Chain A
Amino acid sequence: MSLPLQDLCRVAPEIVLCAFAMLVMLLAPIVPRARHGILSTISVLGAGIALAATRFPAMYPGAAYSGLFRADAFSLFVHWIVCGAAFLVILGSTSYLQREDLDAGEFCALILLATAGMGIMAGAQELLTAFIGLEMSSIASYILASYKRDAPRSNEAGMKYFLLGSFATAFFLYGIALFFGASGSTRLDMMTPLANDSARTLLKMGLGFIFVGLAFKVAAAPFHLWAPDVYEGAPAPVTALLSTGPKAATFALALRILADVGAASPLWFWALWVAAVLSMFAGNLAALVQTSLKRMLAYSSVAHAGYILVALATAAATDHAEAGIAAALFYLVGYALVQLGAFLIVAQLGGPGERHVEIEDFAGVARRQPAMAACLSLFLLSLLGLPVTVGFLGKFYVFNAALESNLIWLAILLGLNSVIAAYYYLRVIVAMYMLREPEQEIAAEPVPWTLSLVLWIASMGTVYIGLFPARVIGFAAKAALNMR
């Protein structure tokens, strides 16, 4: 048995996140409303400290709490993504909250709690623990999606997300029950040999339900129908969070199940294959015809879920799944950076009430706000997967993994989809740089320094990792390697 202190160290980031969430909630009634900026500062600090606190699980790798939770390179990697995402989102949304006159305290606390839940999902080695993490992050996200209480669209988003999300959670929970029935344990690494055929059937059903639940959370087709409405209706910074953190955490959980449960790979392979292809096509084709940038990015995030599912399918296809897992992790890093940046820019340029999020509204942005236009172009090009950006390398590694597993068709379909995607990403750049500006003059709002900082980090990261991926991919490969 390991010492409790070490167990505490292994969940240090979650403890920090929860503690800061409590602190912010306690302070919220005391701090006068005009000075709510300080709550954001504290929360940014909290996310930063959580990021730093990943040092502890790195020092004491291993299973915690009798094997419910596991600190290893893999969970560490995912922690960096989710904590980093929280850090950037909170920092980038401070000005947004002020502009929209929203309450900073609850907002930040909810983000911190959601992030703690994602962290738990990343490290969970037992399905009920994973479920708790999933619920923590989901419930906080439901509230965040409807955070603009007065806006009907935000309410609609929250409601939809909540109803459909609960439905998916129920699937997930049902899957866990069947899994337990079949294997006699909810721990992923403690599967007893299956007793008979009926147990095998149970396990298959259980894994199937779990798959549905997870596919729903990552907005993979055909379970993606909630995503566009929710992403469009939710406040843009919340969308930035929703489309990055929970996705990363859910993919992490799926990868963990793939790696630990031997029966999952053959069973999930075709499901992953089909979901990947459907997501790519559904996301990209629907994105082609969108007029709202927010909605377009929502569909594009469905497509990106598809790309990551390709990596998962390659991980499920072979015995040595490392390449696929590493590719998925690398892709998640790049995707999170870029997606965050893009949605935060939309939040800023959308103007008060986010009224200008149609693609045509971006006409002339290059002249009004050249830096923002350049950043958004960079992010879109990275989503599109052009070189010198992290998005290209992400696709490159996914391609590589797919070919290593001989999934040539999947690779070719991925390629075709990137070309389809080029059209709608470029359309935004066309609007910003090439369309005639609207008649009436739109005043360029000054960009707050917090947002500038976030965009600076995101764009530098995009280019730097795009040119020198060695460290990130090295660590991702290491994380993939010691999952087994």
Chain B
Amino acid sequence: MQQTYVLTVLTFLPVAGTLALLLLRSDDHVWIRRLALVTAAAEFAISLLLLRGFSVQATGYQFEEFHEWIQQPPIHYHLGVDGLSLFLVLLTTLLTPVSILASWKSIDQRVKGFFISLLVLETGVIGVFVSLDLFLFFMFWEVMLIPMYFLIGIWGHERRIYAALKFVLYTMFGSILMLVAILWLYRVTAAAGYPTFDIAQIQALLSSGTITLPLRTEILLFGAFFLAFAIKVPLFPLHTWLPDAHTEAPTAGSVMLAGVLLKMGTYGMLRFCLPLFPEASRRFAPEIAVLAIIGIVYGALVSMVQVDLKRLVAYSSVSHLGFVVLGIFAFQAVSIQGAVFQMLSHGISTGALFLGVGMLYDRRHTHLIKEFGGLATPMPVIAALYLFTCFASAGLPMLNGFVGEFLILAGTFQKHAAWASWAALGVIFSAVYLLWSYQRVFFGSITQDKNGALPDADMRERGILFLMAVIMLWMGIGSPFFTRRIETSTQNVLQLMRRPQAYDAGEINNHDMNAMDMDQSTMPVNSANSAAPAGAAGSVKSR
């Protein structure tokens, strides 16, 4: 395997940018902004290299890096991407410069600290997506809390401190149990004589039957992992931190939160819960699906009655992420593809919605819908692009939101028609709350004199919104570009869930966990590149 360093560069370039920022004088706002933007743009450019070099057919991880890090216990610096994480990395590198541009003028206090936090956040998030070692993953997962905490707490709105604390405490509660589970899993591998934190190795050990988890253990471990991810997503009863955090965060914070941080949860489910604990995943899939559907409908209904535009968008995330969770726990190749696509699509369109809301806030310093009205007259450009984003988010065909929701519903319908039918309600509701709020904000007559003279988008704002609109359109009509790259990895997830591998490809069975695999001799413990178990390479069509 050829060593590349692109992922290391990608992960730590923002930190390098941060160090450079530290050297600047803290009142030199212009250069601080420029340097931050240059760093983030360079980061994005490098991430495009990933897209170019990414092989569509290859199973397993690509651009892998593997180094010894800590001997006792054996922790490796192991990075890699596959179809699940590739676009999430790109989404992160795209949204960071966009957030920087969005905060170009609105952040004028402690500018240096703001951009440092944003860049450190980028490192943390990218680290989460590319880590292939549980310890490393956890480290990034926790590190990312600090910059987000500062972003909300320092540059947020009125109730920022409350929101920031709530966000951190919720997440920490989930992640500390995940840490216990990670160590537990490590102890299991150590007991079998192959101590490791490496995801690929653990998967190989599990698939080959070298280690088996008793059902009770598997359920407990699944629960600990799932809880951490469900809080992050957030799944229905655990979502209460989200409206506060999203609403109180500054625009850039909301964009990053909704755009990429929530995806860490759904990504974790796909990367860890399903492949490592398939039995428990299957067993709890109905309950989780019900929670996801409640989230979809409830989030949409609550969105509908919000008086605060930003809170409305925040609740819409609960609804949209419910689709993702539903797609994942339908265990269909199509629905999982749709889930991954929906993660990206939600990142773009909700990110854009927050950007639009942020622009309104910059002008009027309020989020209350009743303060607006008739804004299409003074600012036609923002109005048009915001409408475009609303359509995308509501799932209008030809735009990005449609593809994800369609794939999820189509995939889910194959197995669970009832789930899909209930979830489809969310699609309808989303059109209602988005368009209704749009109507109240932008249409009608101008009710407040202040609104009449608001300036329309300047070049910077037009650029941002237009870029987002182009991506939405591209994702809508060019979706095969994405799904082709996602497909192999989703198949791989399903393949890994089928343990041991003797079953008929069309069925997902949930019994006979004790059957052992024959070929233990091929157990690739000391190979870094052992992502897929021996038989995962292909030939699986689960449709």
Contact = CB atoms under 8 A, between A and B. Distances in A.
Contact of A403 (B140, B164, B180): B180
Contacts of A415: 176-177, 179-180
Interface string A417-430: 01100110011011
Interface in A443-477: 468-470, 473-474, 477
Interface residues of A, number: 32
Contacts of B168: 422, 426
Given A403-B184, A430-B161, A433-B150, A419 B142 contact: no
A256 to B, nearest CB: 23
Given A415-B177, A430-B161, A381 B169 contact: no
Contacts of B186: 400, 403
A387 B169 CA distance: 15
B180 A474 contact: no
Contacts of A388: 139, 143
B153 A396 contact: no
A412 B139 contact: no
Contacts of A469: 70
B454 interface: no
A399 B179 contact: yes
Nearest to B177: A415
Contacts of B140: 387
Contacts of B184: 403, 408
A276 interface: no
Contacts of B165: 423, 426-427, 430
A404 interface: yes
Contact of A474 (B71, B142, B153): B71
A403 B72 CA distance: 15
A416 interface: yes
Interface in B161-203: 161, 164-165, 168-169, 172-173, 176-177, 179-180, 183-184, 186-187
Contact of A387 (B71, B142, B177, B180): B142
A386 interface: yes
B187 A430 contact: no
B267 interface: no
Nearest to A466: B139
Contacts of B169: 419, 422-423
Contacts, number: 80
B535 interface: no
Given A412-B180, A418-B172, A387 B143 contact: yes
Nearest to A367: B110
Interface string B134-171: 01001110110110011001100000110011001100
Given A386-B145, A387-B143, A412-B177, A434 B71 contact: no
A392 interface: yes
Given A400-B186, A470-B72, A473-B72, A419 B172 contact: yes
Contacts of B173: 419
A403 B187 contact: yes
A150 to B, nearest CB: 38
A381 B153 contact: no
A313 interface: no
B167 to A, nearest CB: 11
Interface string A245-283: 000000000000000000000000000000000000000
B427 to A, nearest CB: 37
A435 B165 CA distance: 13
B228 to A, nearest CB: 11
Contact of A411 (B72, B73, B180): B180
Contacts of B187: 400, 403-404
B142 A400 contact: no
A434 B143 contact: no
Contact of A430 (B138, B153, B172): B153
A207 B42 CA distance: 64
Contacts of B153: 430, 433-434
Contacts of A392: 139, 142
A429 B168 CA distance: 13
B202 to A, nearest CB: 16
A468 B68 CA distance: 11
A349 to B, nearest CB: 19
Q: Among A423, A430, A469, A473, find the residue whose CB has the most chain B CB atoms closer than 10 A.
A: A430
From B177, B179, B187, residue with most partner A Cβ within 10 Å = B179
A434 B138 contact: no
Contact of B72 (A408, A416, A423, A477): A477
Nearest to B162: A430
Contacts of A419: 169, 172-173, 176
Most buried by A among B139, B172, B177, B186: B172
Contacts of A433: 150, 153-154
Nearest to A393: B70
A403 B183 contact: yes
A435 B154 CA distance: 9
B142 to A, nearest CB: 5
4 interchain residue pairs of minimum CB distance = A415-B176, A387-B139, A434-B153, A387-B142
19 contacts: A386-B146, A387-B138, A396-B179, A399-B179, A411-B180, A411-B183, A412-B177, A412-B180, A415-B179, A418-B172, A423-B169, A426-B149, A430-B165, A433-B153, A434-B161, A434-B164, A468-B70, A470-B72, A473-B72
Interface of B: 70-73, 135, 138-140, 142-143, 145-146, 149-150, 153-154, 160-161, 164-165, 168-169, 172-173, 176-177, 179-180, 183-184, 186-187
Given A392-B139, A412-B177, 7 more contacts: A386-B142, A387-B140, A411-B180, A415-B176, A419-B176, A470-B72, A473-B70
